[in-house]
Structure 1
Amino acid sequence: MIKAERQQLLTKHIANKQSAQLKELSELLNVSEDTVRRDIKELADLGIIKAVRGGAIAHSPVPHHYRERENLQVTQKEIIAQKAVRFVEDGQVVFFDGGTSTLAVAAALRKDIQITVVTNSFPVVNILEDYPSAEVIFIGGRLNKKAFTTFGSETIDAIRTIKADISFLGICSIDLEYGITTRDYEDCIIKKNIVANAKRVIALSTINKVGTAEPFVVCSVNAIDVILTDDAIDEKTAALFEEQGVLIQ
């Protein structure tokens, strides 16, 4: 088997399983672990997979640009949103991160909800302008044209002045070992501060993002209180998350 064919099989296997160990890939491809390690490095350097200790892990399958994501997995996001609104009560201060999943939560809130929303997301603001009893604090800063959010020092300073009861965190990737990660550095810094300044952090993640990883680390898994997903996680993985103190629904 030539290298190109081997790397194609390796990439497909990791995409299907989301992660794989060196020994597993060595047996699959009938080559040495050193050969697999070199293949993983080459593919990781190209940004196709992420090299990790002892193997490789898939990147998030979700497109980067907001416009490419807004019509994907709409039903799954609505399932997550219906779970999320159960955590929201009148009188709370709630952070809404950027992203299409957090937008789905905003759209699912009851119209007479009496909360204060803090967000750097233009789409979330557009939704909540029709909610008469929801106070909305829009955080300014530089415009991220791919995410339709604001970022920068002004945004971070504003987040740090508020201690929210809940934060809804849109997830790019989440993994037990590598935690919550994202492919954008500026987004990572915003998320870090949202996590640090909320009493309860609720991560919103479609099932296909679980077990994937990106370059920039937001936080470890145990910094999250709840993960809401559209489908059941396998029992073994769910138990490992629960050992970290994370409720999965």
Structure 2
Amino acid sequence: MRKEERQQTILEYLSKEHRVTSVELSEYLSVSEDTIRRDLKELSDQGLLKAVRGGAVAPSPMPLHYRKREKHDLENKKIIAEKAISYLKDGQVVFIDGGTTSLALVASFPHDLKLTVITNSFPVAVLVEDLPNIELIFAGGKMCKTSFTTSSMESLDFFRSFRADVCILGTCGIHHERGLTGILYDDSQIKKNMIQNSNFIIALGSSEKIDTGETYFVSHLKDIDVLVTNISPDEEILKPYKKQVTVL
């Protein structure tokens, strides 16, 4: 089998299994593990998968630009929002990032909910403006036009000035070994900072992001308190996650 055919087979295998080891691929394709490792590195360099120790995981299928993400997977975002809203109580200080799933949660806020929301997301700020009992504190800094958030050194310093009761995070990649990962470097640093300065962390992610990985590390799974998805916690794919975190 030629290298091009072998690498295409690897991608097809990974699209079905979400995660694969070098040993599995070596046996499946009847080639050495060294050959597989070289293939995985080449495919990872092209952004077609994410090479990890001992194998590879699929990248998230999520669109990069905010305008495309806001229209993506809307029904599942509503399901996630309905599950997560029970964790928010009057009087809390809440960090909310720029994820479109986080935005769906804000859109579900009861009109009488009393919170202090701290965010770097312009869309979140616009929604909060119409809620009379929510105090908004906005993180300044340079705007990222891909995510419609502020993400700069000023933004990072801003979040270090607060201690939140709850942190609401949208996710790009979720993996039981690699943890939470992000597509954009600055955005991933903001998420990491939010986590470090919060008492309780809620990660929001649809099932299509489960067992996927991206370039930039955000957090180990064990450092998250609750993972909220659109599927039942009893689904087979979530079993390794339930050993480390509460899954809804």
With normalisation by structure 1, the TM-score equals 0.95
**Cα shift readout 1:195-240 (whole Å, capped 9, x = no counterpart):** 0111100000001111111121111111100000001356565443
Q: What SS does structure 2 have at the residue aligned with 1:217?
A: strand
Kindly provide the amino acid, as one letter, of the partner of residue 134 in structure 1: I
Residue 247 in 1 paired to residue 232 in 2?
no
Distance of 2:173 and 2:187 partners within structure 1: 13
**Contact 1:116–1:136 (8 Å) recurs in 2:** yes
State the partner residue of 2:161.
161
State the partner residue of 1:225.
225
Deviation (angstroms), 1:45: 1.6
Deviates more, 1:149-158 or 1:69-78: 149-158
Residue 31 in 1 paired to residue 4 in 2?
no
State the partner residue of 1:72.
72
Deviation (angstroms), 1:182: 0.7
Residues matched between the structures, number = 248
**Cα shift readout 1:183-206 (whole Å, capped 9, x = no counterpart):** 211011101110011110000000
Deviation (angstroms), 1:33: 2.2
State the partner residue of 2:6.
6
Q: What SS does structure 1 have at the residue aligned with 2:214?
A: coil
**Contact 1:207–1:233 (8 Å) recurs in 2:** no
Distance of 1:122 and 1:181 partners within structure 2: 22
**Cα shift readout 1:25-65 (whole Å, capped 9, x = no counterpart):** 12322323222222112111212111111111111111111
User: 5+ residue gaps in structure 1?
Assistant: none
Distance of 1:233 and 1:54 partners within structure 2: 27
Structure 1 vs Structure 2 CA RMSD: 1.4
User: 5+ residue gaps in structure 2?
Assistant: none
Deviation (angstroms), 1:159: 0.7
Distance of 2:152 and 2:39 partners within structure 1: 37
Kindly provide the amino acid, as one letter, of the partner of residue 188 in structure 1: S
Residue 131 in 1 paired to residue 113 in 2?
no
Q: What SS does structure 2 have at the residue aligned with 1:202?
A: strand
Distance of 2:160 and 2:138 partners within structure 1: 14
**Cα shift readout 1:145-176 (whole Å, capped 9, x = no counterpart):** 00000011211111111111111001001111
Q: What SS does structure 1 have at the residue aligned with 2:147?
A: coil
With normalisation by structure 2, the TM-score equals 0.96
